[in-house]
Amino acid sequence: MAEQAVKKKKKTKPPVTESLLAPGHRACAGCGEALGAKLVMDAAGPNTYVTTCTGCLEVFSTPYPESAWKMPWIHSLFENSSAVAAGIEAALIAQGRDKDVNIIAQGGDGGTADIGIGCLSGMLERGHNILYVCYDNEAYMNTGVQRSGLTPFDARTSTTPVGKRSMGNQTNKKNLPEIAAAHGIPYSATATVGYPNDVIRKVQKALKIKGPKFLQIHVPCPLGWIHPTDQTIEVAKLAVLTGLIPIFEMEDGKLTRVRKIGKNRKPVEEYLKAQGRFRHLFKGTPEAEAELEKVRQIAEANIEKYGLA
Amino acid sequence: MAIPKGTIVEPGSSKKNKTGSWRTERPVFKHDTCTDCRICVLICPDGIIFGSDHVYDADFDYCKGCGMCATECPVDDIDMVPEVK
Amino acid sequence: MKEFIEGSMAVARGVAVCRPHVVSAYPITPQTHIVEHLSELVADGILDSQFINVESEFGAASVVLGAAAAGGRAFSATTSQGLLLMGEVLYNISGMRLPLVITVANRAVSAPINIWNDHSDAMVFRDAGWIMLFAEDNQEVHDMHIQAYKIGETREISLPVMVNMDGFILTHAYEPVDTISQKDADDFLPPFDPVVKLDVDNPLTMGPLGEPQWYLETRYRIQQAMLEAKPVVKQVAKEFKEKFGRWYGDVIDGYRMDDAEIVYVAMGSICGTIKDTIDELRDKGEKVGLLKIRMFRPFPGEEIIDALKDKQKVIVLEKALSLGASGMLSDEIKAAFYATPHRPEISSTFAGLGGRDISKTSLADLYHKVKGERQDNMFVDLKEELV
């Protein structure tokens, strides 16, 4: 370390990017989904076919005639990236082009858990050798932060606004990784950009397994969640450390590994206070306190269910 | 026929779009305490932090100034400063 | 080889010799026998294809889209509600210029649910950028698939093709069909050589965001390709005739048209009944003929004008209508004649909706009515007491 002081070198223009998701894309500053996609692509490598649902990821990466993608990539519709990937797999097999390649289908939480769940279920059930990646930013961000099936309890979105009679979204996140696992697939897991090396590990692990794989990555959205752009990783970590976003792996339907939070556990308020979408929970009213208690209970249930303590 | 309108033949051609103009703050890599952990490289959503051997920097043609690298740097070797044009 | 087979089998056999890499479908009456036969050919090792059973027609269309994007020759079949469920994907397939083939066993559209034949399903997608062919009988539909792949895969065209056959009337009818051998098929149809395909060795981006500054040009290019498809359809029909000796007309076909004064215009299997009716009317001295529309998209306006311009009256008999307007076929024929100095009197009539039988008597009655005066938006065999 003593050498470090003399290591001040003259700054030179950095080299051209090596990432498979090239810069120049139009994701917002601090976009968790862009980070998630970059990690997934670089973990998968160039021999990967990618299908993508309609959504922020597709829009910010491919305004014609420019594309951020450095691998064969296709976007068809909002709800069919898994079915299009299945067709690609079938055609590659039929043409003898399926050796040593990966196929990744991906989408946001709306394209995956809501409108695309039919195609996703079909893909998982039929046994295709495809990794599905869901970038979960917990609302329809591309259309302006409307509620999705993965929007968390009490979150304010543009279709679950806070008002005299509303404390935001009154439903819990659909448990998509377990729904995926219930298809009898060999691998279903959650990850978060808060722990980027874990994302890479899980993508590489999943791609070594033959058959359908599902990975849901929690990706903060500074715009929709209302937090400063530099806080993306911090917010993502707090989601895990409060117990609100359990990070786990399920293999052949069984829970095989969890990210323990143990003594690092934080109160849910730390996560909620970091985001504008939960601001209404801190008015100090009895109603707000009652809601906070419900969120605490969600965290408690997760910690118990997945053994996170 | 010609390539169908709507197929992009140049991979990674988004590089033509210089997003650096979006920036209101810029990261200053101080090169003082860097431990080569490469967290900044790993977590940059735009994949534009480069370097090696304790010397890293952002490609300011593309850096949007989100500040994630400065926040996540475990040894406080990156400062965010207002962009002056 | 002449074989006595079901219409659905004729389709399956006609598709199989095209060696599709991927077949994907979801069951719906009356399409089921087509894909059942194909799955049997795969199960027996006769057809070396990936057969993907999916969770919906939307999934089926998406699977064949992906397969075609990856450079595979792809096939699906559906009808009615299934075609409607595919709708979003159908536009996507043509927008990406993917030349796959879907067979539609034409059927009415719900509600009320009705599994029988008309053309209400296919006609919904007349604006979707698909080449649309209609077959009259099972020999024609057998032969139409290899032509469909050849047309769609022509590199200048690169558009999907919808092969329409009347549900039940053709799909479930047994007729002798001269089936195409694999060797003859291989001689006629070259391997699919797509203009673009997803490939790790040459990474392309397909289906990007189309902002206002260039979306319009994509529509222009599809429209141009559609217009260029017409001579290709004719050329392929001609090549088919040279190779196989069978001819159904190219984009249109006439029956006893030469001295006809009044002409039926129709699509699909009803043309057979109309021909029989014409023979009987001719025996009674009536100067009547038929113009069969074999291709609805691209619309063969010039050919139709040429065939009808010297006729006195035209009876457009449609198995679909645009509710609140008129028949799509009759409207387009009328529009085609807009700039011509002479045009026949055109009657628009709807028949056979929801599988209602169309008899020779009804067709002859219709002829006499039209001979008397022009009929506008007339429902043939409407039961006034049930309305």
Parts of chain A with a pLDDT under 70: 1-17
Nearest to A68 among B14, B55, B72 (CB): B14
- The token pair at A118 is 């039919």
Segment C283-296 mean pLDDT: 98
Task: Give the pLDDT confidence score for residue A11 in this predicted structure.
Answer: 52
Task: Please judge whether B47 and A230 are an interchain contact, meaning their C-beta atoms are less than 8 angstroms apart.
Answer: no
How distant is the Cα of B71 from the closest Cα of chain A, in angstroms?
Answer: 6
Q: Return the H-helix or E-strand segment holding C75.
A: strand C74-78
Q: Is C82 helix (H, G, I), strand (E, B) or coil?
A: helix
d(CA C174, CA C179): 14
d(CA C160, CA C164): 13
Residue C358 · residue C381 · CB < 8 Å: yes
Task: Give the pLDDT confidence score for residue C324 in this predicted structure.
Answer: 96
The DSSP bridge pattern shows strands A213-218 and A131-136 to be parallel
Whether B34 and chain A come into contact, CB under 8 Å, resolves to yes
Q: Which domain holds residue A259?
A: 22-306
In chain C, residues with a C-beta closer than 8 Å to the C-beta of B7 are 96, 196, 204-206
Chain-centroid distance, C-alpha C34:
16
Is residue B43 included in any domain, yes or no? Answer: yes
The DSSP bridge pattern shows strands C2-6 and C174-178 to be antiparallel
**B49: closest chain A residue by CA:** A14
Q: Minimal CA–CA distance to A272: which of A156, A108, A144, A112?
A: A156
- The token pair at C28 is 């719906």
Whether C156 and chain B come into contact, CB under 8 Å, resolves to yes
Whether C157 and chain B come into contact, CB under 8 Å, resolves to yes
Q: Which segments of chain C belong to CATH 3.40.50.920? A: 252-386
Per residue in C180-214, pLDDT (tens digit) is: 999 999 999 999 999 999 999 999 999 999 999 99
Q: Which amino acid is present at C202?
A: N
Q: Is A217 helix (H, G, I), strand (E, B) or coil?
A: strand
Per residue in C123-135, pLDDT (tens digit) is: 999 999 999 999 9
Is residue A58 included in any domain, yes or no? Answer: yes
Task: Please judge whether A93 and C50 are an interchain contact, meaning their C-beta atoms are less than 8 angstroms apart.
Answer: yes
Residue A36 · residue A192 · CB < 8 Å: no
Buried b (16+ CB within 10 A) or exposed e, A138-173: bbbbbeebbbbbbbbbbbbbeebebeeeebbbeeeb
Q: Residue A146 carries which DSSP code?
A: B
Task: Give the pLDDT confidence score for residue B6 in this predicted structure.
Answer: 79
Q: How many other C-beta atoms lie within 10 A of the C-beta of residue C288?
A: 29
In chain B, residues with a C-beta closer than 8 Å to the C-beta of C158 are 1, 4
**C69: closest chain B residue by CA:** B7
Is residue A104 included in any domain, yes or no? Answer: yes
Task: Please judge whether C70 and A80 are an interchain contact, meaning their C-beta atoms are less than 8 angstroms apart.
Answer: no
Task: Please judge whether B9 and C204 are an interchain contact, meaning their C-beta atoms are less than 8 angstroms apart.
Answer: yes
Q: Which amino acid is present at C377?
A: N
Q: Which domain holds residue B55?
A: 17-82
Q: How many other C-beta atoms lie within 10 A of the C-beta of residue A136?
A: 31
Is residue B41 included in any domain, yes or no? Answer: yes
Q: How many other C-beta atoms lie within 10 A of the C-beta of residue C311?
A: 21
Whether B21 and chain A come into contact, CB under 8 Å, resolves to no
Task: Give the pLDDT confidence score for residue C159 in this predicted structure.
Answer: 97
What is chain B's mean pLDDT, rounded?
94
Segment C45-54 mean pLDDT: 97
Residue C55 · residue A121 · CB < 8 Å: yes
Task: Give the pLDDT confidence score for residue C236 in this predicted structure.
Answer: 98
Residue with structure tokens 């069919």?
A80
CATH number at residue B24: 3.30.70.20
Task: Please judge whether B13 and A7 are an interchain contact, meaning their C-beta atoms are less than 8 angstroms apart.
Answer: no
Task: Please judge whether A22 and B33 are an interchain contact, meaning their C-beta atoms are less than 8 angstroms apart.
Answer: no
Task: Give the pLDDT confidence score for residue A3 in this predicted structure.
Answer: 44
Segment C331-346 mean pLDDT: 96
The DSSP bridge pattern shows strands B55-58 and B49-52 to be antiparallel
- pLDDT of residue C382 exceeding 80, the answer is yes
Q: Minimal CA–CA distance to A58: which of A35, A32, A33?
A: A33
Q: Which residues pair with A24 in a beta bridge?
A: none
Task: Please judge whether C24 and A48 are an interchain contact, meaning their C-beta atoms are less than 8 angstroms apart.
Answer: no
Residue A74 · residue C198 · CB < 8 Å: yes
Task: Please judge whether B59 and A17 are an interchain contact, meaning their C-beta atoms are less than 8 angstroms apart.
Answer: yes
Q: Minimal CA–CA distance to A9: which of B76, B38, B31?
A: B31
Task: Give the pLDDT confidence score for residue B1 in this predicted structure.
Answer: 58
Tally of domains in chain B = 1
What is chain C's mean pLDDT, rounded?
97
**B15: closest chain A residue by CA:** A24
Whether C216 and chain A come into contact, CB under 8 Å, resolves to no
Q: Minimal CA–CA distance to A66: which of B3, B6, C19?
A: B6
Nearest to C89 among A69, A77, A91 (CB): A77
- pLDDT of residue C82 exceeding 70, the answer is yes
Residue B21 · residue C219 · CB < 8 Å: no
CATH number at residue A254: 3.40.50.970
Torsion on CA atoms C71, C75, C80, C84, rounded to nearest 10: -10
Per residue in B32-41, pLDDT (tens digit) is: 999 999 999 9
How distant is the Cα of A134 from the closest Cα of chain C, in angstroms?
Answer: 19
Segment C129-152 mean pLDDT: 98
Whether C205 and chain B come into contact, CB under 8 Å, resolves to yes
Which residues of B sit within 8 Å Cβ distance of C?
1, 3-9, 11
Segment C330-355 mean pLDDT: 97
| CATH architecture type of domain C252-386 | 3-Layer(aba) Sandwich (3.40)
End-to-end CA distance of chain A: 37
- pLDDT of residue B84 exceeding 90, the answer is no
Q: Exposed/middle/buried for C276, CB within 10 Å: 0-12, 13-18, 19+?
A: exposed
Tally of domains in chain A = 1
**A307 φ/ψ sector (left φ>0, alpha ψ -120 to 50, else beta):** left
Task: Give the pLDDT confidence score for residue A2 in this predicted structure.
Answer: 42
Task: Please judge whether A23 and B48 are an interchain contact, meaning their C-beta atoms are less than 8 angstroms apart.
Answer: yes
Q: Exposed/middle/buried for C380, CB within 10 Å: 0-12, 13-18, 19+?
A: buried
Q: Count contacts between A and B (CB, < 8 Å).
A: 137
Is residue B63 included in any domain, yes or no? Answer: yes
Fold of the domain spanning C2-244: Rossmann fold (3.40.50)
With cut-offs at 50, 70 and 90, classify the pLDDT of residue B5: confident
Which residues of A sit within 8 Å Cβ distance of C?
46-49, 51, 58-59, 62-65, 67, 69-77, 79-80, 83-95, 97, 101, 118-119, 121-122, 125-126
d(CA C352, CA C118): 6
Q: Quick one: angle between helices C138-153 and C7-16, nearest 10?
A: 30
Is residue B7 included in any domain, yes or no? Answer: no
Task: Give the pLDDT confidence score for residue C96 in this predicted structure.
Answer: 96
Task: Please judge whether A11 and B48 are an interchain contact, meaning their C-beta atoms are less than 8 angstroms apart.
Answer: no
Nearest to B13 among A18, A67, A71 (CB): A67
Whether C99 and chain B come into contact, CB under 8 Å, resolves to no
Task: Give the pLDDT confidence score for residue C261 in this predicted structure.
Answer: 98
Q: Which segments of chain C belong to CATH 3.40.50.970? A: 2-244
How distant is the Cα of A75 from the closest Cα of chain C, in angstroms?
Answer: 5
The interface pTM score, or ipTM, of the predicted complex is: 0.97
Whether C96 and chain A come into contact, CB under 8 Å, resolves to yes
